[in-house]
Structure 1
């Protein structure tokens, strides 16, 4: 009985050792193949990079590069162009790089957009955007209609279409993608140029709430003064979070046509509204708001006090006002805040 157990254990041990040996052999073979592949890619990059750099930087004719559409060579081209796209600043250079990418990698990415592998599709999307390969816009739109794509792919597709100023986005986004979050919408809308963004502003009142938030956020981030009248209209028409976001946008823009409704917000029962209104008064340097800003230095909410101090500091005589509060106020919190903003940046 003992001999049988020993034989059985010996067989299992030998089997495991054999499997481990085969696994090690596979890993070594794979490692050797990867090293060989990497060496080929690097050798090809070293061979062509002077010519590629000359084409991008100086606009030389695309000749002298014998380019076969083989995967390893296409990978080398991709890596080389990815390196340059991160450091280029001139529009002409970016345009030439985009033309090279289209010439050499268009078919390469078109195939990968049709791949069943998520990683290949995402990789293709990232490079299509980086290289601004507008010729592949129809293929990107086609991918958006596939049922098996992930949420991450969907968002990146919409960002690409926005970056390429795809006119169909004005119908595609609100009709087929009305379920997206404010963050998703904002990441898409920030890529739009003025003309296409206008189309979404025109449909603001019919849009879902997260979409409205995103539009106001974009106006705020871009400090788009051309939408000041629109933003004031939203501020006066809506309540709650939309009113607050419109006020934030006006504070970032730094301009309002009618200051009186904004001055009223300094007396709001909601601390967030008092804070943002205080920011607006400081950004436009509206002297009518100074007495109330001084009162807000005594507010029960730290954020309101801090913003009031910052806004006062933005006025030409702001330091003198803060100094007076520091010397005369009986409120320790107000004095502390006045002292803080007097010494900011000192």
Structure 2
């Protein structure tokens, strides 16, 4: 037994020593590689920046070692891409990446590790490698799990303006709203018009998550081109769609017709009463002052707060709040009016 224990302990110690040696060798190898990359980058950076900006006509040479070549190029191009708004420089970066990196990324999408594939997808999007659009689409269709690789692949295709993306997300089902909005941020106006066409088809059952994401994004981006679509959604039979539409109108800070607001002051849904009050204040609709005074005594705190905050925004609103704080028949309304008078704008 003692011999077995000693043999086991010795084996474990040997394994630990081998692991330690492996780690030290790996770190040393990585350090040498990093030093070579830094030396090459320092040597060619100024020349490459001149070439990217158009000040130099000839592209600098890089080492024959593919690994160093790729690493240096990625760092240089990524650094410029993140800090330039110049169409010329963006085009030059795209051309350089297509010449030197496209084939490498295409191989990585099919033959590399998960981490390498994610890295390749990131750079394909960053450098706008349009020539790899079809390969990325094939990669999407080959994926079996909706993980980070799947999400990154969708983002790349959205950035590359793949026309198949609209039908894909509509037919795919319940893509998370957060991810859908990330895709929308990459769409062109033309893509949005195609999506709107799908959303307005009477015979097309679009997943609700796509519709909600579209409503959210329109309000967040302030795109008035789709305001009429949002306004139609306040009459939708689905509560969540109505709420998203009301919130988007608050973000727009505008709607073309305000007569419908009054009916939401008496809605059974407290969120609708709250958004109606908020929009009234944002647009300073004095014709609804009496309704806001009524909502100041609502049973829900958030509605009372929205109503009093809206009153504060209208002309002579503070005078009206003074009156409510002393004469309103509801105790909660008096308290909220007094609280609103003493708070800073937009703060509790």
TM-score greater than 0.5 by the shorter chain: yes
> What's 1:344 paired with?
344
> What's 2:307 paired with?
308
> What's 2:193 paired with?
198
> What's 2:111 paired with?
115
The 2-side partners of 1:67 and 1:31 are apart by 23
Structure 1 residues 6-61: Cα deviation after superposition (integer angstroms, max 9, x where no partner): 44444333333332322222222112111111111111111121122223345532
For 1:36, which of 32, 37, 47 is the aligned residue?
Answer: 32
After TM superposition, the score normalised by the length of structure 1 is: 0.89
> Any unmatched runs of 5+ in structure 1?
none
The 2-side partners of 1:92 and 1:263 are apart by 53
Residue pairs, 1:70-109, within 5 angstroms: 70-109=66-105
> Any unmatched runs of 5+ in structure 2?
none
The 2-side partners of 1:91 and 1:314 are apart by 43
> What's 1:169 paired with?
165
Structure 2 CA distance for partners of 1:252 and 1:47, relative to 1, 3 Å: same
Instruction: Please report how far the alpha carbon of residue 209 of structure 1 lies from its aligned counterpart in structure 2 after TM superposition.
Output: 1.5
Q: Secondary structure of 1:145's match? A: helix
> What's 2:319 paired with?
320
Structure 1 residues 61-97: Cα deviation after superposition (integer angstroms, max 9, x where no partner): 2423345460122112212322333333444433333
Length, aligned pairs only: 341
The 2-side partners of 1:184 and 1:35 are apart by 37
Structure 2 CA distance for partners of 1:22 and 1:275, relative to 1, 3 Å: same
Structure 1 residues 209-260: Cα deviation after superposition (integer angstroms, max 9, x where no partner): 2221111111121122122222222222434211222222222222223322
The 8 Å contact of residues 182 and 213 in structure 1, kept in 2 or not, is answered as: yes
For 2:182, which of 149, 174, 187 is the aligned residue?
Answer: 187
Instruction: Please report how far the alpha carbon of residue 197 of structure 1 lies from its aligned counterpart in structure 2 after TM superposition.
Output: 0.7
Instruction: Please report how far the alpha carbon of residue 180 of structure 1 lies from its aligned counterpart in structure 2 after TM superposition.
Output: 1.8
The 2-side partners of 1:279 and 1:292 are apart by 12
Structure 2 CA distance for partners of 1:245 and 1:150, relative to 1, 3 Å: closer
The 8 Å contact of residues 306 and 337 in structure 1, kept in 2 or not, is answered as: yes
The 2-side partners of 1:311 and 1:134 are apart by 49
